């Protein structure tokens, strides 16, 4: 049995990193992980980059490395697959630190789900299942910006990439045998596409809880305030809720105070927010109320109710039974909001339609069955009522 190297190798010199990146560019795959901090900031702060190449576990210091071009080139090299586990937050780190998203990418959590090891499986559990090795998690909440890092921190970080290429190889073999490798690669590619997409700040109001209760004029205010919060959080690099919480945005949109005195009557907007952001919030409300009525958002759909429950249950039952036959987690196939989108598409007599994510291989596997199930239960759905 080949011994997997787990001893951490510290890299904080540009020339040494450039030499390693050149070597890694000749490999078919490398294991990648990050450690970061973000409790006081909007963006994650890179504290450590780990790369495993089968010969060593390299800990790259983002606080010391100045020339990032070799890493950028490596992470965009189409011949080198970057293997990560549950990597959504890691991709944020790379975007902020390097300005690129690693691709092609293979997420071993996604691969494990397709291979039959369970949905949303943690890395330590995956290592245990496939290799019978226990990975300690004692440094999960460490301060990764301190220097020097402790020996336990370095050992912990190295173990996060030490076994990943072995896991990757085992998953590839199993997925090829099952005929699901393309599915795992497609879902991994979706992570990259989502990370690279440009957000529309004017859509953030849709994420505010209970926004569906607001009328178009109120939604125009909420849209403006939500976009302001997103823009300011990013520009100031502060968590959104440090500026104002969602319930404060919602109440401002509903009450629409015209001056700071009225703003002070809203208990949902804390005193420190009123003091620090009051003028800006009032300015955004005034601008929203100056918008023509023709530009107001339409009312948002209310939550699905009891009338739609039979159809929702039928769709979930169909997917659950298919998933059992395929030995796949049903959550991997269809998400909650996708069930809801299918139901909504057929309300008031419309044709049932599948969301974009249920195209491609998912459409081949279950798309037609979902549409047929929805149509068979159309009579169970009552016409949707407009919110009062």
Contact 378, 315 (CB under 8 A): no
Distances (CA, A) of 269 to 124, 203, 249, 311: 42, 22, 8, 40
Has residue 2 got a pLDDT over 70?
no
The contacts of residue 303 (CB under 8 Å, 6+ apart) are 212
- Summarised one tens digit per residue, pLDDT across range 328-376 is 999 999 999 999 999 999 987 889 999 999 999 999 999 999 999 999 9
pLDDT of residue 382: 57
pLDDT of residue 1: 46
- Summarised one tens digit per residue, pLDDT across range 56-77 is 999 999 999 999 999 999 999 9
Handedness of CA 354, 219, 194, 329 (dihedral sign): negative
Residue ranges and CATH numbers for the domains of the chain are 8-196 (3.30.420.10), 201-295 (1.10.150.80), 306-380 (1.10.150.80)
State the Cα–Cα distance between residues 281 and 289, nearest whole angstrom: 13
Picking from 355, 384, 350, 380, the residue whose alpha carbon sits closest to that of residue 370 is 355
**Residue 179, SS3?**
coil
**First CA to last CA distance, the chain:** 69
State the Cα–Cα distance between residues 299 and 4, nearest whole angstrom: 57
- Summarised one tens digit per residue, pLDDT across range 81-134 is 999 999 999 999 999 999 999 999 999 999 999 999 999 999 999 999 999 999
Q: Which residues are catalytic?
A: 33, 35, 90, 156, 160
Contact 28, 80 (CB under 8 A): yes
Q: For 382, phi and psi rounded to 5 degrees?
A: -80, 155
pLDDT of residue 260: 95
**Which H or E element spans position 11?**
strand 8-11
- Summarised one tens digit per residue, pLDDT across range 140-197 is 678 999 999 999 999 999 999 999 999 999 999 999 999 999 999 999 999 999 999 9
- Summarised one tens digit per residue, pLDDT across range 270-286 is 999 999 999 999 999 99
**Which H or E element spans position 326?**
helix 309-326
């Amino acid at each position: 049995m080949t011994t997997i190297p787990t001893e951490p190798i510290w890299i904080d010199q540009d020339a040494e990193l450039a030499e390693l990146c050149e070597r890694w560019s000749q490999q078919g795959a490398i294991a990648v992980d990050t450690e970061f901090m973000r409790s006081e900031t909007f963006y994650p702060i890179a504290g450590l980059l780990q790369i495993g190449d089968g010969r060593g576990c390299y800990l790259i210091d983002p606080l010391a490395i100045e020339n990032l071009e070799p890493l950028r080139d490596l992470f965009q090299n189409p011949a080198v697959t970057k293997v990560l586990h549950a990597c959504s937050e890691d991709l944020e780190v790379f975007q902020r630190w390097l300005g690129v998203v690693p691709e092609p990418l293979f997420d071993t959590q996604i691969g494990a789900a397709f291979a039959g090891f369970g949905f949303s499986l943690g890395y330590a559990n995956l290592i245990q299942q496939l290799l019978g090795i226990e990975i300690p998690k004692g440094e999960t909440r460490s301060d990764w910006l301190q220097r020097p890092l402790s020996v336990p921190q370095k050992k912990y970080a190295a173990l996060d990439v030490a076994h990943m290429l072995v896991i990757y190889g085992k998953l590839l073999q199993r997925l090829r045998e099952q005929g699901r490798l393309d599915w795992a690669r497609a879902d991994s590619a979706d992570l990259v596409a989502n990370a690279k997409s440009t957000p529309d700040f004017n859509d953030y109001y849709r994420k505010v809880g209970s926004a569906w209760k607001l009328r178009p004029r109120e939604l125009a205010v909420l849209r403006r305030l939500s976009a302001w919060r997103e823009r300011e959080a990013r520009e100031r690099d502060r968590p959104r809720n440090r500026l104002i919480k969602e319930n404060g945005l919602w109440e401002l949109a509903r009450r629409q105070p015209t001056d700071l005195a009225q703003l002070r009557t809203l208990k949902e907007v804390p005193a420190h927010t009123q003091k620090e952001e009051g003028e800006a919030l009032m300015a955004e409300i005034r601008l929203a109320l100056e918008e023509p009525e023709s530009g107001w958002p339409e009312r948002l759909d209310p939550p699905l109710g009891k009338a739609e429950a039979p159809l929702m249950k039928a769709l979930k039952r169909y997917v659950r039974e298919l998933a059992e036959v395929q030995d796949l987690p049903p959550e991997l196939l269809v998400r909650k909001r996708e069930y809801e989108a299918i139901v909504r598409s057929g309300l008031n007599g419309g044709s049932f339609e599948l969301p974009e994510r249920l195209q491609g291989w998912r459409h081949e596997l279950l798309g037609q069955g979902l549409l047929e199930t929805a149509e068979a239960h159309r009579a169970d759905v009552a016409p949707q009522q407009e919110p009062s």
